[in-house]
Structure 1
Amino acid sequence: MDCIAGVSRKPWSLPFTAEPQEVASLRRIMRLHLGLWGLHGVIDAAQLCVSELASNVIRHVGTGTPATLVVSMSGTRVRIEVHDSDTRALPVFLDAGLDAESGRGMALVTAVTDRWGVQLQADQKMTWCELPTGLPSAEGHSGGARVSRVEALLGGYGGEQERLWLAGAGAVAVVEEAAIDVLVDVLHWLRAHGRDADEALDRAQTRFEVEAEDTEVLATRGNEEDSGHVSR
């Protein structure tokens, strides 16, 4: 089960028409789906990629071309594909200068992805790229051992909540309520054993803020290192 309750990272596809106004819609949809998948850290890069792949169809195949966006997991990577019907106009890497007004699209894709490529078929081509997520597995998440332990707890907490966990629509809100129930029960347990619940909350909040800050610093440092050394 993923870090977002009841939402599996199943492949999805969306037909679209290669029009400039469609690019913003594709970016919004990408943000929504990756957010539901719990992959907030790759949203910006994924939006850049879908913008460039869709814009390539507009520029090199033609406005109004029918196309399809496909998003899936490839191991621990997010795989983004754009399919169109033209097998002649192939995207290429151009070593464009920083001041160039065009030609930098696939260079940007190259910079933020692990790899990209083009596959030709008899009646269509598919341009794809794959983004690293840092997940331990395709079904995992980047929350670490603490998040894993809580999900194991919430997955079977409260009987009725367990059935609602798999409900789909509104699942995030349902599981949030289950998490609050767990916190309340823990506070009752502390009080029943003569402990100060408010003090425990304050200590937990302080520890959480310190760990969250440390995680953010490490993630920023890792991104800075990766920006100067991207593996292909």
Structure 2
Amino acid sequence: MTAFELSLLATPKAVPELRHLLRHHDYDVRLCASELLTNVVDHLGEGTPVTVRVTGIGAGRTRVEVTDPDPRALPVLVRPTTATDESGRGLALLDALALRWGVEQCADRKTVWCEVAGEPPIGGVQEPAVPVVRGGR
């Protein structure tokens, strides 16, 4: 059962809005969703249409997914080499927080997902409390 699903355009402004919409979820869920959305902005560009899903999968786990339209741009786990490196921390953070993570590729899209400990809140889909730029597919 999907507890949360939202289609939007990946922009820097959408990241804090997404965190706000997920405010009833655990911190790890909000952080992982933010990092996955930020990766789309950084690696595919602003305005890329995405779908964010947060689903309780049982056994005390929550799955966070971000689907984008580029099946070729795969995430790569890179560790920053110095304390001042400005990139390379997003997936490293996700890797540290998540119980597991991966990529599902299709011909016209990919979904980067992770599973974290904890259940989504009871109450179903949270409607956007702030305007979110939505994109179609």
The two structures have a TM-score, normalised by structure 2, of: 0.80
- Which residues of structure 2 form unaligned runs of 5+? 123-137
TM superposition shift of 1:30: 1.1
Distance 1:24 1:64 in 2: 15
- Which is richer in helix? 1
> Are 2:61 and 1:69 aligned?
no
TM superposition shift of 1:10: 4.4
Q: String of CA shifts for 1:141-168, please: whole Å, max 9, x gaps.
A: 9xxxxxxxxxxxxxxxxxxxxxxxxxxx
TM superposition shift of 1:44: 1.8
Q: String of CA shifts for 1:16-45, please: whole Å, max 9, x gaps.
A: 10010000010011113x2xxxxxxxx221
1:63 partner letter: E
CA contact (8 A) 2:10 2:41 kept: yes
TM superposition shift of 1:96: 1.1
Distance 1:92 1:27 in 2: 23
CA RMSD, 1 decimal: 2.2
The two structures have a TM-score, normalised by structure 1, of: 0.49
1:82 partner letter: V
TM superposition shift of 1:88: 1.2
1:95 partner letter: R
How many aligned residue pairs are there?
Answer: 121
Distance 1:99 1:109 in 2: 19
Of 67, 70, 74, the match for 1:83: 67
TM superposition shift of 1:11: 3.2
Q: Superposed, which structure 2 residues align to 1:33-72 within 5 Å? A: 34=25, 43-72=26-55
- Which residues of structure 1 form unaligned runs of 5+? 1-8, 35-42, 142-232
What SS does structure 2 have at the residue aligned with 1:108?
Answer: helix
Distance 1:47 1:72 in 2: 13
1:67 partner letter: V
> Are 2:116 and 1:116 aligned?
no
- Which is richer in strand? 2
> Which of the pair has the greater relative contact order for Cα pairs under 8 Å at 6+ separation?
2
| Bigger Rg, structure 1 or 2 | 1
Q: String of CA shifts for 1:139-194, please: whole Å, max 9, x gaps.
A: xx9xxxxxxxxxxxxxxxxxxxxxxxxxxxxxxxxxxxxxxxxxxxxxxxxxxxxx
Query: Where has structure 1 moved over 3 Å in runs of 4 or more?
Result: none
